[in-house]
Amino acid sequence: MRLSTRAPGPATVASEPLPASVQDTAVPALLLQHATVGYGRRPVVHSADLRVEQGQAVALLGANGSGKSTLVRGILGLAEVLSGHVDVLGEHVEHGASAAASLVGYVPQRHSVSGAVPSTAAEVVGAGLLASRGFWRAPRRGDRDRVMAALAEVGLADRARTRVAELSGGQQRRVLIARALVSSPRLLVLDEPTAGVDRRSTEQLVRTLAEVKAAGRAMLVVTHDLAELGPVPDRAVTMQDGRVASDLACVCDPATGCCTTVPAGQV
Ligand SMILES: Nc1ncnc2c1ncn2[C@@H]1O[C@H](COP(=O)(O)OP(=O)(O)OP(=O)(O)O)[C@@H](O)[C@H]1O
């Protein structure tokens, strides 16, 4: 199943009919219920409960080894859900199934596109369509428009023909976000998008994430620094030793433009 958005907003990716579960905005973008996730039979994340509403942005924090990436892999169907449930937009995520790849846009943790990649920005973004649709499927009419809309959504429409190796690290990161957006996912998962990016590029990335959120997409953003995400997060979930240790609402401090956490119910 492939998803797309009809949400209003600037230069969002071209629409296709939405499945019924997505048209129902009461269906959470992401729902984990007592989800235990691990590798082989070894649990790493224990009985996690997490709900992300459509259009909501949640920061996922925690020390190294606390289980953030394993939780993300469970959402993507790349790690095994040993017990409990993981649902994306009402669809059950199954280990090894490709369904999750088309439901969730994923921006992996990497600093940049390899300098050895000779592709243009448009070609890298176009690869996101192949990944969600299957490499054996023929290109469709409108693919070019989708690629251009995704590049516009991250503010790089004018760099479509530029080789990615010639873009800055921050711009390359935005190309990877466009690649994740091109199949119009309603949930975007980003693994440390600001790691290794300088302050100016981080600010541009945060503006991009704010626009992605304004376009109605839900986001789960793994980060070590809540403040780096500016005003984007609505909630901050912290993991500790494989468990969800806290789940707090965020409010934006007008003085700094950054989020601080407050106990739920005090927003
Ligand atoms: N593919 C794997 N197979 C087996 N165990 C793994 C695998 N990946 C991670 N682990 C283990 O799971 C635990 C949690 O690791 P995970 O990568 O989920 O933490 P993290 O919070 O994302 O850490 P970091 O902030 O360093 O990225 C660690 O003990 C790690 O050794």
70 lines ligand 1 (CB under 6 A): yes
The whole-number pLDDT of residue 7 equals: 35
Residue nearest to atom 12 of ligand 1 (CA): 44
266 lines ligand 1 (CB under 6 A): no
Q: E strands, 156-241, where?
A: 187-191, 218-222, 235-240
Lowest mean pLDDT among 16-25, 157-166, 192-201, 235-244: 16-25
How many angstroms separate the Cα of 184 from the Cα of each of 58, 75, 164, 218, 245? 19, 17, 22, 12, 32
Q: Report yes or no on whether pTM surpasses 0.95.
A: no
How many angstroms separate the Cα of 144 from the Cα of each of 139, 141, 155, 260? 9, 8, 16, 40
By most ligand atoms within 8 Å of CB, the mutation choice from 39, 42, 46, 69 for ligand 1 is: 69
Separation of 152 CA from ligand 1 center, angstroms? Answer: 34
Distance, CA of 221 to chain centre: 6
Residue nearest to atom 13 of ligand 1 (CA): 65
115 lines ligand 1 (CB under 6 A): no
User: For residue range 55-90, what is the model confidence (pLDDT) as tens digits?
Assistant: 999 999 999 999 999 999 999 888 999 999 999 988
Mean pLDDT, the chain, integer: 83
65 lines ligand 1 (CB under 6 A): yes
Does this complex have an ipTM over 0.90?
yes
69 lines ligand 1 (CB under 6 A): yes
Least Cα distance to 51 among 67, 31, 71, 65 occurs for 31
